[in-house]
Structure 1
């Protein structure tokens, strides 16, 4: 059952996802244009830094939710994605240096290490989104049906996108799936501030009405001499005068 405080972290996470989707599109376009214009590549690099900052901010919200729920899947999701980012940055720098200084055994070693770092980073990224996908699948009752369905689908698309990136030749399809995944994960922003779980129905208390017991009728008395009915506690019969 998600509390309003935990919903806040999921909403903040979801609010950042569509922004990342838009930035991913812009980064791709500017890098494509950068083949012909250097300034476009510079803009693409700046947008990449902005996207990285926003992603780290979103991962912070996932970590906070993971701590409050004491859920290892959310915590692993955040840690694996962060480690993937670090390895990708290191691997990219190694490839960049190796491309500039393309001679010598050390440079070849840097290129090989750079490729290994990028591959390991890609695998960690797949594992990270897989953790989020598993978390949503195991905790669908925490969210409204549509939000649970959209976000679970979004996390799965992010995982598939990571796999396609590894193939290189299918990277463009992975890019498309990644963008769709970001927007689907944006459904988290639609979470209400209150508890998302339905309030359990209160048990109906049925009052048992006991049957009205008839009042006991006073025992009738009769005169032993004449048989007349005695109405009170008198000592003598009112009809014949005999002592009772």
Structure 2
């Protein structure tokens, strides 16, 4: 595993997520204005297409990082998110046609709702997997970035649940934008090294004290010189302890 490759992929991922967050925020604001001014609505639609392009690039970053780390959560993110987004989009189109059609096409509304739910579940699983990745692999990033990544993924995951409603989808879009900005924190990995996995140091053995076997070199009674290992003084006959 190359930490440099993973670091670079997540750095680029963060930069692109920052662009997506800004464009999503602008598109959200312009979309509201566009309900009253048609030209503004067209600009918001253009932003939406740019966001799609950037998301395709982001999926590439996650996929390459997943291969480098051999991580199942990252590898599963791309197919789940991509397929879920396509299914959800088709569901929204069918729902709109059935709901606003002059002819009674309730079957399209039902199919559309089912597809929206299925697509949202897949997107929920994708963001949930990314959240799990940041939590279980926090040692790969600085503490603030791993926290922002996990919390940003969680907000995007909650937003997918709110997407299945009509009233709360407005709140879901706000949570999604906040989540995008938090995920963009990985761009701050520039110039920083990926933290190595912590390994506890092996305990060092306690040194065994060496007992002294030295014997006196002089007699304690008369002070005469004695041979090492002798038990009695050759001069006075005193016992050497």
TM-score with structure 1 length normalisation? 0.75
Aligned to 1:186: 184
| Alpha carbons 1:8, 1:193 under 8 Å: kept | no
Structure 1 unmatched runs, 5+ = 204-244
Asked if 2 retains the 8 angstrom alpha-carbon contact of 1:154 and 1:183, the reply is yes
Q: Which has the larger radius of gyration?
A: 1
Gaps of 5+ in 2: 203-241
Residue 163 of structure 2 corresponds to 165
Root-mean-square deviation (Å) = 2.6
Moved more, 3-12 or 36-45: 36-45
Distance change >3 Å, CA 199–CA 131, structure 1 → 2: closer
Q: Which runs of 4+ in 1 moved over 3 A?
A: 99-102, 192-195, 198-203
* Contact kept in structure 1, 2:139 and 2:197, CA below 8 Å: no
Aligned counterpart, 1:115: 113
CA contact (8 A) 1:80 1:128 kept: yes
Equivalent in the alignment of 2:12: 12
- Larger deviation, residues 190-199 vs 180-189: 190-199
Q: CA deviation at 1:194?
A: 5.9
* Inter-CA distance 69–198: structure 2 relative to 1 (3 Å threshold): closer
Contact 2:99 2:106 in 1 (8 A): no
Q: Look up the match of 2:46.
A: 46
TM-score with structure 2 setting the length: 0.76
Moved more, 144-153 or 36-45: 36-45
Q: Is the 8 A contact 1:2 1:195 kept in 2?
A: no
Higher RCO, Cα 8 Å, sep 6+: 1
Aligned to 1:22: 22
Residue 56 of structure 1 deviates from its aligned partner by 1.3
